[in-house]
């Protein structure tokens, strides 16, 4: 591994993967995630830079889930399932983020029933634990849904997320 600060290198590569996934650059995502996981093998987050101490294995995993989910990758659910099983009970924000990413992925693939079920799990966690990244994903999910125009699960889902997140803002 060249250079120093492998935690920083892992974080930057994982974020690159997430952004590349937004534009559908599959090969860039795969290479960036490979670099991220390789760098993380050498990482010591709490012993490097203070601003990377947040970047643990669960956060790396959540970035991989986000990247795969945005691509509609066939391994998204498997990766997310493994990650969710490995999380400690205190990792509530990561759990909310992963479930929100799964809901977003389902909505992007027009699986609104699944998106609804996942959003029902994610929304209370995102609000209760003030998981801002998960809340951002839920807002993004509402933007991927078909335009409002009446009834249906997509419209109900949009309303549920909007009222749940908007209600949180009013309390603040």
pLDDT of the chain along its 172 residues, tens only? 566 788 999 999 999 999 999 999 999 999 999 999 999 999 887 777 777 778 889 999 999 999 999 999 999 999 999 999 999 999 999 999 999 999 999 999 999 999 999 999 999 999 999 999 999 999 999 999 998 766 799 999 999 999 999 976 545 4
Give the chain's domain count. Answer: 2
pLDDT at position 26 is: 97
Other CB atoms within 10 Å distance of the CB of residue 164: 18
One domain for residues 58 and 129? no
Same domain, 95 and 77: no
Residues 72 and 147 reside in one and the same domain? no
Task: Please check whether residues 72 and 93 belong to one and the same domain.
Answer: no
Residues 57, 2 share a domain: yes
Q: Among the three residues 62, 86, 110, which one is the final residue of a domain in this structure?
A: 86
Tell me: do 19 and 43 sit in the same domain.
yes
Domain that holds residue 116: 88-172
Residues 93 and 159 in one domain: yes
CB 71 within 8 A of CB 106: no
State how far the Cα of 107 lies from the Cα of 155, in Å rounded to an integer: 12
**Residue 56: what are its φ and ψ, rounded to 5°?**
-100, -175
Looking at the structure, do residues 8 and 73 belong to the same domain, yes or no? Answer: yes
Domain boundary among 86, 106, 131: 86
Q: Are residues 159 and 102 in the same domain?
A: yes
Asked if 75 and 104 sit in the same domain, the reply is no
Last residue in a domain, options 70, 86, 102: 86
105 and 144 fall within a common domain: yes
Shared-domain flag, residues 33 and 98: no
Which string of b and e fits 42-71 if b means at least 16 CB within 10 Å? Answer: ebebeebeeebeebbebbbbbbbbbbbbbb
- Looking at residue 87, its pLDDT comes to 97
Q: What is the pLDDT of residue 4?
A: 74
């Amino acid at each position: 591994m060249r250079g120093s600060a492998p935690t920083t290198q892992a974080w930057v590569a994982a974020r690159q993967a997430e952004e590349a996934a937004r534009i559908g650059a599959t090969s860039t995502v795969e290479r960036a995630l490979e670099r991220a996981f390789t760098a993380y093998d050498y990482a010591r987050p709490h012993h490097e830079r203070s601003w990377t101490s947040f970047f643990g294995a669960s956060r790396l995993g959540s970035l991989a889930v986000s990247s795969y989910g945005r691509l509609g990758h066939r391994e998204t659910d498997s990766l997310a399932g493994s990650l969710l099983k490995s999380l400690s009970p205190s990792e509530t924000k990561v759990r909310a983020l992963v479930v929100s990413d799964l809901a977003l992925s389902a909505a992007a693939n027009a699986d609104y029933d699944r998106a609804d079920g996942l959003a029902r799990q994610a929304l209370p966690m995102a609000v209760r634990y003030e998981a801002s990244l998960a809340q951002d994903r839920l807002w993004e999910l509402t933007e991927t849904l078909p335009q409002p125009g009446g009834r249906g699960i997509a419209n109900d889902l949009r309303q549920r997320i909007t009222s749940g997140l908007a209600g949180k803002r009013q309390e603040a």
